[in-house]
Structure formats: structure tokens, C-alpha cells
Amino acid sequence: ITLSIIMGTILTMSSYNWLMAWIGLELNMLAILPIISKPKTTRASEATIKYFLTQAIASAMMLLSSTTNAWQTGSWDILELKNKFSTTIMTLSLMMKMGAAPVHFWLPEVLQGTTLQTALLITTWQKLAPVTLMYMISNNIQPALLMSAGLLSMVVGGLGGINQTQLRKTMAYSSINNLGWTIMIMALSPNLAIMNITIYIIMTTPVFLMMKNTSMKTLQNLTTTWTTSTAMTLSIALLMLSTSGLPPFTGFMPKMLA
């Protein structure tokens, strides 16, 4: 299963052809479903179904977009996505794959229904393939579409996270917020957007690992770990500040550059 997840992402990231990219994403999706449903609870099964349905819809939109483009231009090449309709549908489908607003509703639900380890996988590794595809077609996407989607994601991520007591949901909204930044920067400088998502992944991974280590589930747990593991609580606090993008932390760098 792990091999399939890695293979699927690498296949998508290294393909020139829309069909190969689609096959990579499908392989990736089918491989992660058993991982999400591994805890034998109704919550996990529900999360798996939600994940599967949204990703399947996004895949169908992707096929529709690339087929329409191939029909209009005669090329399956990823860089040849010239048709306006195709570009818009493709952007929406990639946003759905990543979990950016306005098609973000599955992300908090899925993360809440599964383990912290799987949540880490979904918020980091699973973003690589769609972000790479968006990077490849960024020249053809209308900047207004990227800007408005990015702004909406930032607003939804910021406001949605305030209202949560569950840490996994908070992390999900943090992910949506950071994706908003990535998508918005994509309109101005695609290379910077790649740097932004890389820094986000580097910052989120230790937060999830520490949460897993102390088996934190809610904000209540976070406040009570101070007595048992002071250094870890401090690290999480600093990482949270960094993820919010406050100077002088690393998370501020892509925002400053943008």
C-alpha cells in the first residue's frame, strides 16, 4: 500500500500526459482508502467514503477537462491545456483534490474520522501531486480564478479554525489556509508557491508527530501536556506560531517574499 501511494504520486508528478497523471492520482487514491479505514470504527468508514466520493468526483472532472481539451486541441500534453473551459474545470478538480475552498468540506471531516498518522499523510504527501499539476498548468489559468480561490481558502481556513476544539480539525483548517496562500502565490510566481507548500509540509509534519507521540485529540489535551512534557508543548506552540506565518519564524518567509 505504501509503495502504491509513493508510486501514484511520483507517476503523476513525472508524467507529461493527462491520462498518465490521472492514473497516478487514481492509484494514489485507491491505495490510501484502506489506510483511512484501518481503525475499525464507523467514523473511519464514514471518512473513507467521504474521501473516496470527493476524490472520484475530482477525478471525473479531471477526465472531462482533459478530454475536452484533447478534443479541441488534439493534444493530451499537460502543458498544452489551452482551452478556457478545460482550464477552469481542471483548476476546480485540482482544488477539490487538495481540499481548497470552496470545495474543502471533505477535509476537516476526513481528518477527524481517522488517525493522526493518516491525517499527516493526507495533509502533506497527498497535496504533492495536485500542487505539481497546478504548477504545470499555472501559465494557462486565469489569475482572477486563482486569486479569488486563494482568498476564499484563506478566509475559510482562518475563520473555520477559530471555532474548533478538536486538534485534527484545527490542523485541517490550517491546511486549507496554507493552501489558500499557495494558490494565491501560484498566480504571481509558481516557484514561490512550491516553496510555500514545501515550508508548510516541513512545519506541519513535526506538529502531527508530536500530537501522535502524546496522543493529543483536543485543545484540552494540549493544555494539560505542559506538566508532563514541557519542551514538547513549547515546540508545538512555536511551530503553531510559525505555521500562522508570524515573523521571525520560517513560516513568515514565503509570505514576505510574496
pLDDT tens readout for residues 36-82: 999 999 999 999 999 999 999 999 999 999 999 999 999 999 999 99
Q: Is 90 exceeded by the pLDDT of residue 124?
A: yes
Supply the pLDDT for residue 229. 86
Q: Is 90 exceeded by the pLDDT of residue 223?
A: no
Q: How far does Cα 197 stand from its chain's mean position?
A: 9
Q: Is 90 exceeded by the pLDDT of residue 222?
A: no
Among residues 195, 170, 206, 174, the alpha carbon closest in space to that of 256 is found at 195
When pLDDT is averaged across residues 2-31 and rounded to a whole number, the result is 96
Among positive and negative, which fits the CA dihedral 42, 168, 129, 31? negative
> What residues contact residue 214 under an 8 Å CB cut-off, 6+ apart?
221, 225, 228, 229, 232
Q: Is 90 exceeded by the pLDDT of residue 228?
A: no
Q: Tens digits of per-residue pLDDT, 164-187?
A: 999 999 999 999 999 999 999 999
Supply the pLDDT for residue 141. 94
Long-range contacts of 159-165 (CB under 8 A, 24+ apart): 160/108, 164/219, 165/218, 165/219, 165/220
The whole model's pTM is what? 0.94
Supply the pLDDT for residue 185. 95
Percent residues over pLDDT 70 in the chain: 100
When pLDDT is averaged across residues 231-253 and rounded to a whole number, the result is 92
Long-range contacts of 18-22 (CB under 8 A, 24+ apart): 18/62, 18/66, 18/69, 18/70, 18/76, 18/77, 18/78, 19/66, 19/76, 21/78, 21/129, 21/133, 22/59, 22/62, 22/63, 22/66
Which has more confidence, 2 or 163?
2
Supply the pLDDT for residue 89. 97
Alpha helix positions (H), the chain: 2-13, 18-36, 42-73, 84-98, 106-113, 116-123, 125-137, 143-162, 167-188, 190-213, 219-224, 230-244, 252-257
Supply the pLDDT for residue 225. 86
Which has more confidence, 155 or 219?
155
Is residue 118 very low, low, confident or very high in pLDDT (cuts 50, 70, 90)?
very high
When pLDDT is averaged across residues 6-29 and rounded to a whole number, the result is 96
Q: Is 90 exceeded by the pLDDT of residue 210?
A: yes
Q: Is 90 exceeded by the pLDDT of residue 35?
A: yes
| Contact assessment for residue 184 and residue 257, using Cβ atoms and an 8 Å cutoff | no
* Residue labelled with grid coordinates 490521472: 22
d(CA 163, CA 167) in angstroms, rounded, equals 11
218 DSSP 8-state letter: B
Three-state secondary structure call for residue 151? helix
What count of Cα atoms within 13 Å lies in the side-chain half-sphere of residue 8? 21
d(CA 79, CA 129) in angstroms, rounded, equals 15
Supply the pLDDT for residue 256. 93
Cα-Cα-Cα-Cα torsion 160, 148, 179, 11, nearest 10 degrees, comes to 140
Amino acid at 100: A
